[in-house]
């Protein structure tokens, strides 16, 4: 009786989890989970390979660990479950480190900072962010944009889609009045549809991006952070940032 009881308690406490670093080094492969629909952080190229800022950073991390990199593409919403289930070792997916999520995953230090803002249809009548309340707002399921839209625009009708492309299209065609999302994406969608959309460039929420590993794996978090420190200190981060964003990273 005592054996099974102790085992149950250990599992409940998460003691059954093997430290990620041990698993990765033994396997010789780091398995990173991402949703490849978030350029320039992750997207599929013509050959179907998953590429982008996050993926190049993950390559450097794997190199530093002395292991190979395997990238698993999946819907954004399913990443934390895949991490908990051991299908992936790490999430690198433009994921915002927000307190709510820190209850289910452990975050590394921040590697990119942006804000949320609105893409609006030119005929929506939205001049400032507050005008979006009571309107039809497209949101990407499972993202911070969806959560913040719910909090800020209580009278709005939220229209959820699994992919950002669908949200932006709703706005461009006028089926939705607005789309609340990460600023670099909003600017890109506006560039693609300059005649029917506008950007309301008011920062509605801070969005610090971090890598996420299994909850409580402090050893792996420490290793991720020592990687990030070295990656910044030796200039690799600045080089990659310039390559993808066309400007040097902001001073810290």
- Minimum distance from residue 94 beta carbon to ligand GLN (Å): 4
Task: Pick the piece of the chain touching ligand GLN (CB under 6 A) from 22-30, 60-68, 140-148, 166-174.
Answer: 140-148
Q: What angle do CA 144, 150, 154 make, to 5 degrees?
A: 155
Q: Is 35 in the site for ligand GLN (CB under 6 A)?
A: yes
Q: What angle do CA 216, 217, 218 make, to 5 degrees?
A: 90
- Minimum distance from residue 63 beta carbon to ligand GLN (Å): 24
Site map (CB under 6 A) of ligand GLN, residues 158-197, x = contact: ------------------------x---------------
Q: Is 106 in the site for ligand GLN (CB under 6 A)?
A: no
Hey, what are 163's tokens?
Answer: 């992919």
Q: Is 76 in the site for ligand GLN (CB under 6 A)?
A: yes
Q: Hey, how many other C-beta atoms are within 10 angstroms of the C-beta on 35? A: 26
Sign of CA dihedral 130, 127, 184, 143: positive
Query: What whole-number distance in Å separates Cα of residue 181 and Cα of residue 212?
Result: 20
Choosing from 143, 156, 176, 227, the residue that interacts with ligand GLN (CB under 6 A) is: 143
Q: Give the length of the chain.
A: 252
Torsion of CA 59, 62, 66, 67, to 10 degrees: -100
Q: Is 51 in the site for ligand GLN (CB under 6 A)?
A: no
Residues in contact with 66: Cβ distance below 8 Å, sequence separation at least 6, in sequence order: 25
Give buried/exposed letters for 83-103 (b at 16+ CB in 10 A, else e).
Answer: beeeebbbbbbbbbbbeebee
- Minimum distance from residue 117 beta carbon to ligand GLN (Å): 12
Choosing from 53, 89, 94, 149, the residue that interacts with ligand GLN (CB under 6 A) is: 94
- Minimum distance from residue 190 beta carbon to ligand GLN (Å): 17
Q: Is 93 in the site for ligand GLN (CB under 6 A)?
A: yes
- Minimum distance from residue 164 beta carbon to ligand GLN (Å): 6
- Minimum distance from residue 79 beta carbon to ligand GLN (Å): 9
Query: What whole-number distance in Å separates Cα of residue 118 and Cα of residue 137?
Result: 9
Size of the site for ligand GLN (CB under 6 A): 12
Contacts to ligand GLN by CB under 6 A: 35, 38, 76, 93-96, 140, 143-144, 182, 207
């Amino acid at each position: 009786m005592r054996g099974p009881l102790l085992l149950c308690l250990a599992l409940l406490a998460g003691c059954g989890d093997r430290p990620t670093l041990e698993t990765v080094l033994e396997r010789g492969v780091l398995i990173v989970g991402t949703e490849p629909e978030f350029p320039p952080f992750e997207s599929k190229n013509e050959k179907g390979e998953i590429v982008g800022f996050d993926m190049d950073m993950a390559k450097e991390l794997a190199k530093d660990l002395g292991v190979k990199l395997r990238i698993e593409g999946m819907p954004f919403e399913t990443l934390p479950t895949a991490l908990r289930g051991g299908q992936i070792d790490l999430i690198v997916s433009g994921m915002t480190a927000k307190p709510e999520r820190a209850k289910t995953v452990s975050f590394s230090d921040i590697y990119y900072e942006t804000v949320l803002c609105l893409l609006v249809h030119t005929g929506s009548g939205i001049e400032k962010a507050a005008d979006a309340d009571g309107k039809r707002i497209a949101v990407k399921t499972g993202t911070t944009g969806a959560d913040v839209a719910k909090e800020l625009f209580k009278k709005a009708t939220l229209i959820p889609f699994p992919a950002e492309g669908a949200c932006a299209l709703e706005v461009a065609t006028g089926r939705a009045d607005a789309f609340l999302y990460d600023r670099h994406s909003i600017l890109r969608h506006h560039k693609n549809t300059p005649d029917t959309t506008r950007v309301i460039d008011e920062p509605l929420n801070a969005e610090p991006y971090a890598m996420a590993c299994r909850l409580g794996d402090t050893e792996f978090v420490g290793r991720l952070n020592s990687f990030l420190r070295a990656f910044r200190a030796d200039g690799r981060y600045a080089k990659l940032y310039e390559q993808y964003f066309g400007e040097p990273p902001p001073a810290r």
